[in-house]
């Protein structure tokens, strides 16, 4: 059976790059979108990926906010894995820098899918940020039935962006005829760690690891986070093309670790580096976070 082309939006990003790698290893034809195909930092690591027999890689420019470029990217594809979004916790202009790229960009992708008519399967990258409300009781279990519907632009712009974009996808999907609509699945990973494929990937969640390795802070804060390996996240996206329920919502989480456990693991792997392992009290970390640019308690979101 000949499989069609898979479009991966945000292919130069941390998750997107690993999704492309996974697909190419399976011998799939991949169309990978990047914002600037002339930027080596966005494309060189993609071009260096091994391609299994039968597979191919096409790199195209796409701007999420430009509906025409999105339409050109979607044209002729039978599957779409939409990972592209603004991955930022804070910004000076959160509406235009965080929310709009996710929401307007996702709407442009959905409109292009409708106009093209060839897309049979859509996998949308959401996040546990779309699941975790700003206020929730101690001991409350967060599930795929939970929504961050109290996220605000001022208090949690990233959560608002991921919540709004996923709702948009689900409303679009549920409004369609069951017999003819594309299969749709959302993947909701937590904090993603694992090997970067580009220096650009040292930002975002990986920046916390780099902060410890470079000893940019001399201590760790008493918080724990849900984590998952980026390669597992990529595998979940690719499997979601054909596995799981239509309209399924899947948490991708490996487990939880305290920051001090992460620091000790890094110290064990890099004994030559002065990785901080001293944990300060939470009350002190609240105060320090107001003045230290490398400490952001939203890490634990």
298 vs 132: CA distance, rounded Å: 12
Annotated catalytic residue: which of 162, 176, 260, 294? 162
278 vs 186: CA distance, rounded Å: 38
Quick one: which H or E segment has residue 158? helix 157-174
162 noted as active-site residue: yes
Q: What are phi and psi of 104, to 5 degrees?
A: -65, -40
HSE toward the beta carbon, residue 133, CA cutoff 13 A = 14
51 vs 57: CA distance, rounded Å: 8
Per-residue buried b or exposed e for 47-69, using 16+ beta carbons within 10 Å of the residue's own CB:
eebebeeebebebebbbbeebeb
62 vs 290: CA distance, rounded Å: 38
Q: What are phi and psi of 17, to 5 degrees?
A: -65, -40
Quick one: which H or E segment has residue 67? helix 67-74
Quick one: which H or E segment has residue 299? none
Neighbours of 131 (CB within 10 A): 22
Tokens of 203: 């930002």
Tokens of 275: 């990785």
Length of the chain: 301
What's the longest Cα–Cα distance across the chain?
60
Which distant-in-sequence residues (6+ apart) come within 8 Å of 21 by Cβ?
A: 49, 197, 234
Residues belonging to the active site: 162
């Amino acid at each position: 059976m000949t499989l069609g082309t898979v479009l991966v939006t945000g292919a130069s990003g941390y998750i997107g790059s690993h999704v492309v790698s996974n697909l190419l290893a399976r011998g799939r034809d991949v169309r990978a979108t990047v914002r600037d195909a002339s930027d080596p930092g966005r494309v060189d690591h993609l071009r260096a990926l091994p391609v299994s027999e039968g597979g191919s890689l096409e790199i195209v420019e796409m701007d999420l906010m430009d509906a025409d470029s999105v339409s050109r990217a979607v044209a002729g594809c039978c599957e779409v894995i939409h990972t592209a979004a603004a991955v930022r916790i804070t910004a000076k202009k959160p509406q235009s820098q965080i929310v709009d790229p996710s929401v307007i960009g996702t709407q442009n992708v959905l409109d292009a899918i409708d106009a093209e008519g060839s897309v049979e399967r859509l996998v949308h990258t959401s996040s546990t940020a779309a699941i975790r409300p700003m206020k929730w009781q101690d001991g409350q279990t967060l599930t795929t039935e939970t929504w961050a519907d109290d996220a605000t632009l001022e208090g949690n712009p990233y959560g608002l962006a991921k919540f709004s974009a996923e709702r948009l996808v689900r409303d679009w999907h549920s409004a369609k005829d069951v017999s003819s609509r594309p299969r749709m699945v959302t993947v909701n990973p937590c904090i993603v760690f694992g090997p970067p494929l580009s220096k650009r990937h040292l930002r975002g969640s990986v920046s916390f690891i780099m902060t410890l390795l470079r000893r940019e802070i001399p201590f760790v804060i008493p918080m724990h986070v849900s984590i998952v390996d980026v390669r597992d996240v990529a595998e979940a996206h690719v499997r979601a093309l054909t596995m799981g329920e239509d309209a399924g919502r899947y948490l991708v989480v490996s487990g939880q670790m305290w920051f001090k456990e992460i620091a000790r693991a890094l110290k064990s792997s890099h004994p030559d580096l002065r990785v901080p392992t001293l944990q300060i009290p939470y009350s002190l970390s609240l105060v320090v976070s107001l003045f230290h640019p490398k400490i952001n308690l939203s890490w634990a979101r």
